[in-house]
């Protein structure tokens, strides 16, 4: 399987829920870290799309098409909301299905907050 096929498959799956992109990212991270994650309900999600049971890791999964403009300010707001909602938060994983030229912004937030921000594109 090549990257183009994988990217198409990811962009074709549902965005939300356990059977969607959020669930896939949470399941993969859970297996990698050997830690359980809780997927948030639909609607307001102050701690992200999923979070570790201990509240030390938050996941924001953004399944965007290549034509979608990345809402960088909205994502930054999501990060800050997760920081407020999870007092023990150490790491924020942003999984997106399109490239973004926003690493400088994530680096600045890391410096300001001490939070590790990991971006998977």
The pLDDT value given to residue 52: 94
Across 93-97, average pLDDT: 86
The DSSP output letter for 40 is: P
Nearest-5° Cα angle at 55, 49 to 58: 35
Residue 93, CA distances (Å) to 2, 49, 57, 82 in order: 24, 10, 7, 11
- The pTM of the full predicted model, rounded to 2 decimals, is 0.82
| Cβ atoms of 5 and 11 closer than 8 Å | no
Collapsing DSSP to helix, strand or coil, 96 comes out as strand
Collapsing DSSP to helix, strand or coil, 38 comes out as strand
Express each pLDDT in 77-89 by its tens digit: 999 999 999 999 9
The pLDDT value given to residue 12: 83
């Amino acid at each position: 399987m090549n990257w183009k096929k994988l990217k198409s498959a990811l962009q074709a799956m549902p965005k939300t829920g356990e059977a969607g992109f959020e669930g896939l990212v949470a399941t993969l991270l859970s297996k990698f870290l050997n830690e359980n994650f809780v997927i948030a309900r639909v609607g307001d999600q102050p701690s992200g799309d999923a979070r570790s049971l201990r509240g030390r890791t938050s996941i924001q999964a953004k399944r965007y098409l290549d034509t979608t403009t990345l809402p960088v300010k909205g994502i930054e707001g999501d990060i800050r909301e997760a920081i407020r909602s999870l007092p023990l938060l150490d790491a924020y994983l942003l999984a997106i299905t399109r490239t973004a030229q926003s690493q400088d912004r994530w680096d600045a937030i890391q410096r300001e907050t001490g939070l590790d921000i990991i971006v998977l594109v």
